[in-house]
Amino acid sequence: MALLVKFGYNGTCFTGFQKGNGNQSIEDSILSILRTYNIADDLRSAARTDRNVSASGNVLMISTKMQPEKTLRILNARGRDLYFFGYSTVDDDFNPRHCRSKRYVYVLSNPLPTFVETIKKFEGQHDFSAYCRKDARS
């Protein structure tokens, strides 16, 4: 049975999503649980995130014979800073990367001071002619 699992995580606790990306990647953490409890040998994910990036609705797919409710219970009990909250059964050839759309929301903690500091660099008069194409017409 192929199981599509919806999950989230606190990205500040990981070195990024991709396995082998440091000693504490999200994918390595999930795979460790899946393999330790003989749930699955591999996973496919819909998206990967960088270090310190959290997610509230990522999706992964696993092939397993274990009941979905039991799978989620084990993942939630063993996955530190990971939260698994939904599932659906799908065909074995389903690929979560081939979805119709993805939605990203970027939330910055207190971005206003940084924005104000950055935008000040653009105040005043500047010569941007180096970024323009010369008009061949005279």
Question: In the chain, which ranges are continuous DSSP H helix?
Answer: 26-36, 68-78, 112-119
Distance CA 67, CA 90 (A): 14
87, β-bridge pairs: 5
The DSSP output letter for 62 is E
In this structure, are strands 82-90 and 2-9 parallel, antiparallel, or unpaired?
Answer: antiparallel
- Residue pLDDT, tens place only, 78-136: 999 999 999 999 999 999 999 888 888 877 777 778 888 888 888 888 887 888 877 66
Residue 99 resides in a domain: yes
Residue 40 resides in a domain: yes
Catalytic residue among 50, 92, 93, 135: 50
Residue 135 resides in a domain: no
Residue 67 resides in a domain: yes
The count of domains in the chain is 1
DSSP secondary structure, 84-108, as one string: EEEEEEE-TT--GGG-S--------
* Catalytic residue list contains 50: yes
Residue 136 resides in a domain: no
Residue 29 resides in a domain: yes
Residue 118 resides in a domain: yes
User: For residue 49, what is the domain's CATH number?
Assistant: 3.30.70.580
Contact predicate 58/6, CB 8 Å: yes
Residue 35 sits in which domain range? 2-130
Residue 106 resides in a domain: yes
Picking from 13, 105, 8, the residue whose alpha carbon sits closest to that of residue 51 is 13
Contact predicate 6/84, CB 8 Å: yes
Per-residue pLDDT band at 137 (split at 50, 70, 90): low
For the chain, the average pLDDT equals: 90
Residue 18 has pLDDT above 80, yes or no: yes
Which tokens in the block code for residue 39?
């749930």
Q: What is the pTM of this model?
A: 0.77
